[in-house]
Structure 1
């Protein structure tokens, strides 16, 4: 039955795995263009039920039952109440940090078990990744301690406590408007920040860059900020998220995102999926329709409509703009992107309604109604700092605080293992085995079918520009051994090792590889990584490195993004050109560039 069984490429898996790797990528990328991952509709149904019951239903029930705003089904009495807005944000924070929000389940490579998150972060001895271990005292090391576990659980508890214990607080200075106690919001923000300093995984998993600003302005409500100021500040926060994401899409990389994303949408007709590619199977680059979807309905709309919402004092135009942003987030939701950020999209659709329809600028909630003029520019400066820095120096900032959500401009990596070496990763202290083992032992897949399933993720990566660069460098580096290694999509591997990943290569860069190596001790050549940084907004190149887990970084270089954009996923003309800027002299002495080349 199509509802229960996945779509699969029309090949014999055992025979298929004997073909050259680039031919396999061609076949699987062609399959993806029409069927996506091929996931059975039953899996999507599970996600929909989780979203409806746990996130939407659970969030509304908890928020209304713990507030004095009317019953759950009395929508007209609570939809525009600030306490509901705050509690839905707190509930979403809880779901995300618990590990049952985004990057949950099989679409995020959690096959069995389906939940990462708390299973890793409440377990001493698992890997943590501090963001600044040398600069911030008491954060060095990469072992999760009992203190880390207690801090994590306390943070989860603070979100729930703020929902329940702070449910009936009326804030002095806000005219009796019901809101969550600012002190409890401050405690939640502070604990999450401490978690993030000990382990950046937790801050990013909670989507702290999106929600912590809301917690902060909530702590200032009634003292520093009037209620009107609070609403206007909340509007500025969400608009900067939208506009920042739009600006990040002003690269050639974004256009390549749309076709494979639409192809993975389970309810989009096949003819429409095919229409996003130039000519299947010979040319899998974006069609004119994909260009229109990317740059008009995507970048232009995400940039222009939020600005209309922020400044419009026309009720009809405002309602149309609100409807547009709700439709925008619903469209992303129905595509089931691989990080599966369904909860985030639904919450942002609700926030658009609450802020801009519930607090219309023409009724005294416009930018010009902010009481302290100097504070608004200061707020904007703080909010845009990381997006600006992250787009100019992506090596310093995760792509999430950089507001590059699904822009196609990601730090990424491909991992390569000698035969048998991948199994060593199961020596790590983690509740889940490698994905290939989850499929074989947990899901009952035949080994060849499991391997072909894992290679589908390589095909997906190849349909994006950075994948073509990664495979080019891997071919150059491994040479004749390229066909003998097992290649893996690093984002999926990362999920099994640290319990979460949202497409951020900074979670599986040299910091994680060194942590793995200290625990396992791979031999030279057993575990090879090609890793690439995001493209800076002002440059035409991306910087990569090659790392042997046992030897460290052995090569650095760059490639032109344009070269990756114009070729095909399977690299029919061979690897894209790269400029090598460094080779380890002890590892490749005959190829090491001259000192002048390194200058």
Structure 2
């Protein structure tokens, strides 16, 4: 693979683009299995440089300089300083809220510009998605100057807390009498907390982009708890995130995530290792036993068992080993460059592991049972578990991020199918980026190769369980699907609202309705196959077929067993779908009833 040139599939582009949709998916899925996205090494280098220089060195330098500590290379002087950890969190939240951390750059569908976030969220007239319709004063789907002002105030409040010097803390001095850096002034953390909540009630995109489901509790702990309780509460928070993510991987979806993730990793250069993650490459691209072991041995078990050991261990060597496992776990995720590219998040969690469990170990008075009063730990744990439990039982009510289903493969997702030429209507929507096809062409791709590169994203989706149902739905309801432009919903979403982290709730009928108000698609020009996550133990996924001009036109379900048993390119045809409602049936029933009424009158 070239440093500056992508690794393109070995196809003739003109011939390839005339093939049926599922034949294209077969060719591109096989190519993905060996080559991943095929991004030039330059792209990965940009991410690494951003991670090292902007995030790590930049964040440590700011934290140290504003806290009276030595420069970043004096690691022993700052790694276990509480104010450095607080400012590491604030720095991460600031970058996430700006939009230059997770869901940034080409691997997230942002090519030109590479940044979404602030370019959308600080601009009035862009699409705003409210989390709940029942919240007062949240009507509408466009940002106002008031929304922009709230967002900018949130950024300023984070920067003020980050750049301000620490203050003395009696609770810190009681356990670390030699500490001179103090803690971030609690009152300075109150403003980001309130503003993140206010912004989030009007705009779920920014709240999720800031990773509020994880960082908001941390900020609350910074502001409200004495030092020992704060450390214990932070331990509970990270363990809930880990265990919640591990628990969500039980089931039949996650093994399908591991194979294409490993295939996309530049740190796995040997193709035979990538092929070994599939049952029988190139005939069978279902996950192999190796992929299953990687998923549930190195994944599920590690994320549940090891964090619980960290939380309760009072043995130094056991804790040290467990901490090392979790650090390696997060660095492995970084090495795979997953398409949502949550690199900063993983580095912060690796540092958090060391800071909390080795810097303030249980045997020195920082165990969960040391919280004062002890019952407070139970209340905090219950509060932290509320959304993960609700989100697994009712995934339609909670984003998969607060549900702690990162990387679980059990996602709400979608594919968008445009009639020929209709995709260009998206450029009527107020936003700060063009369609991805135009971004790739402007970046230097030939038009045919730009199209094939984007089709690799739906081929990647086809390698996950839910896509077998999504493509089945398109095949069933769109006889012209082979001539349509089919796009991955997550990537389209990025160009429309400046963020997506794999959450299909960000591109459901609410977004489509907001897009339609400016794009003005005719009936049939844009049809979206959309599916909700599987509720815990249900065995089915609930889908919607959405016409941009008509709204939801069909609802139904498919069995997860049927989806995971099929190949990405559906060689046996669509999997079985059970239609529970359709607009066409309602209209026929209405006409029949009207005809019966006319007959009675006659």
User: Which TM-score bucket, shorter chain as reference?
Assistant: over 0.9
Contact 1:585/1:592 (CA < 8 Å) preserved in 2? no
Aligned with 1:232: secondary structure? helix
- Find the counterpart in structure 2 of residue 106 from structure 1: 106
Alignment correspondent of 1:484: 483
Whether the aligned pair in 1 keeps the contact of 2:427 and 2:519 (CA below 8 Å) is no
Residues in 1 aligned to 2:558 and 2:412: alpha-carbon distance in whole angstroms: 14
The 1:202–1:585 alpha-carbon spacing in structure 2 relative to 1, beyond 3 Å, is: same
Indicate the residue corresponding to 2:527 in structure 1.
528
1:516 — aligned with what? Answer: 515
8 A contact 2:425–2:520 mirrored in 1: no
- The within-5 A match list for 1:281-360 is 281-360=282-361
Q: What SS does structure 2 have at the residue aligned with 1:302? A: helix
CA distance in 2 between partners of 1:589 and 1:493 (Å): 34
User: Could you tell me how far apart the structure 1 residues matched to 2:451 and 2:260 are?
Assistant: 21
Q: Which residue, out of 200, 205, 210, partners 2:204? A: 200
1:588/1:259 CA distance change after superposition, 3 Å: farther
In the other structure, the counterpart of 1:597 is none
* Shift, 1:588, TM fit: 6.5
Distance 2:242 2:78 in 1: 25
Task: Identify the range of structure 1 (202-211 vs 170-179) with the bigger mean alpha-carbon deviation.
Answer: 170-179
TM-score (norm 2): 0.95
**For the Cα contact (< 8 Å) 1:584–1:592, is it kept in 2?**
no
Corresponding residue of 1:171: 169
Aligned twin of 2:400: 399
Give SS of 2:417's match: strand
Q: 2:45 & 2:69 partners in 1: Cα distance?
A: 32
Post-superposition offset of 1:214: 0.5
What is the DSSP-based 3-state SS (H/G/I as helix, E as strand, rest coil) of the residue aligned with 2:541?
A: strand
Once residues 255 and 241 of structure 2 are traced to their aligned partners in structure 1, the CA distance between those partners, rounded to angstroms, is: 20
In structure 2, the residue matched to 1:66 is 66
Instruction: Please list every run of 5 or more consecutive structure 2 residues that lacks an aligned counterpart in the other structure.
Output: 594-602
Range with bigger deviation, 72-81 or 289-298: 72-81
In the alignment, the residues of structure 2 paired with residue 415 and residue 365 of structure 1 have an alpha-carbon distance, to the nearest angstrom, of: 50
Instruction: Give 2:244's aligned residue.
Output: 244
Contact 1:582 1:592 in 2 (8 A): no
Q: Find the aligned partners of 1:378 and 1:187 in 2 and give their Cα distance.
A: 24
Aligned to 2:568: 569
- For 2:233, the equivalent position in structure 1 comes to 233
Query: Could you tell me which residue of structure 1 aligns to residue 9 of structure 2?
Result: 9
135-144 vs 51-60, which moves further: 135-144
| 1:492-530 Cα deviation digits (max 9, x unpaired) | 000000000000000000100111111222111011011
1:506 matched to 2:505? The reply is yes
TM-aligned CA distance change 1:139 to 1:519, over 3 Å: same
Give the whole-Å Cα distance in 2 for the aligned partners of 1:139 and 1:334: 40
Residue 120 of structure 1 aligns with which residue? 120
Change (3 A) 1:339 1:438: same
After superposition, where does 1:68-83 map in structure 2 within 5 Å? 68-83=68-83
Displacement of 1:538 after TM fit?
Answer: 2.2
Q: Is the 8 A contact 2:57 2:72 kept in 1?
A: no
Distance 1:342 1:107 in 2: 12
Q: Does 1:276 align with 2:277?
A: yes
Which residue of structure 1 aligns with residue 538 of structure 2? 539
Gaps (5+ residues) in structure 1? Answer: 595-599
SS at match of 2:172: coil
Match of 1:188 among 179, 189, 192: 192
2:579 corresponds to: 580
TM-superposed deviation, 1:189: 1.0
Structure 1 position 490, deviation (Å)? 0.6
Distance in 2 between the 1:305 and 1:592 partners?
A: 61
Moved more, 252-261 or 264-273: 264-273
Conserved? CA contact 1:390–1:397, under 8 Å: yes
**In structure 2, C-alpha distance between the alignment counterparts of 1:173 and 1:323, rounded to whole Å:** 29
Report how far residue 81 of structure 1 moved: 1.1
- Deviation at residue 271 of structure 1 after TM alignment: 1.7
Work out whether residues 309 and 356 of structure 1, in 8 Å CA contact, stay in contact via their aligned partners in 2. Answer: yes
* Offset, 1:307: 0.3
Q: How far 1:4 moved relative to its partner? A: 1.5
Instruction: State how far apart, in whole Å, the 2-side matches of 1:113 and 1:71 are.
Output: 33
Shift, 1:9, TM fit = 1.0
Residues 370-379 or 306-315, more deviating: 370-379
SS in 2 for 1:483: helix
Distance (whole Å) between structure 1 residues aligned to residue 137 and residue 587 of structure 2 = 38
Residue 22 (structure 1) aligned with residue 22 (structure 2): yes
**Whole-angstrom CA distance in 2 between matches of 1:536 and 1:586:** 27
Cα distance change, pair 414–591 in 1 and its aligned pair in 2 (3 A): farther
Given that 2:120 and 2:126 are in contact with CA atoms closer than 8 Å, whether structure 1 keeps it comes out as: yes
For 2:70 and 2:373, locate their aligned partners in 1 and report how far apart those are by CA, in whole Å. Answer: 33
Contact 1:64 1:72 in 2 (8 A): yes
Contact 1:583–1:593 (Cα < 8 Å) also in 2: no
Q: Give the Cα separation in 2 of the matches to 1:593 and 1:357.
A: 72
Q: Distance in 2 between matches of 1:587 and 1:42?
A: 53
Q: In the superposition, relative to structure 1, how do residues 591 and 111 fare at CA in structure 2: closer, same or farther (>3 Å)?
A: farther
- Give SS of 2:555's match: strand
Q: Which structure 1 residue ranges, 4+ long, deviate > 4 Å from structure 2?
A: 590-594
Post-superposition offset of 1:66: 0.5
Q: How does 1:447-486 map to 2 (within 5 A)?
A: 447-478=447-478, 480-486=479-485
Provide the alpha-carbon RMSD of the alignment.
1.5
Tell me the CA shift for residue 592 of structure 1: 11
Q: 1:249-308: per-residue Cα shift (whole Å, max 9, x none)?
A: 001000100000000001202221111111111100111110110010000011000000
**How many Å apart are 1:69 and its aligned residue?**
3.3
Residue 465 (structure 1) shift? 0.4
How far off is 1:72 after superposition?
A: 2.1
Contact 1:582 1:593 in 2 (8 A): no
Counterpart in 1 of 2:432?
431
Q: Distance in 2 between matches of 1:586 and 1:523?
A: 21
* Residue in structure 2 matched with residue 210 of structure 1 by the alignment: 214
CA contact (8 A) 2:472 2:573 kept: yes
Query: C-alpha deviations, 1:551-572, integer Å up to 9, x for none?
Result: 1111000000010101100000
Q: Tell me, yes or no, if the aligned pair for 1:129 and 1:142 is still in contact at 8 Å.
A: yes
Give the number of aligned pairs: 586
Structure 1 match to 2:598: none
Note the C-alpha offset of 1:590.
8.4
How far 1:173 sits from its partner (Å)? 3.7
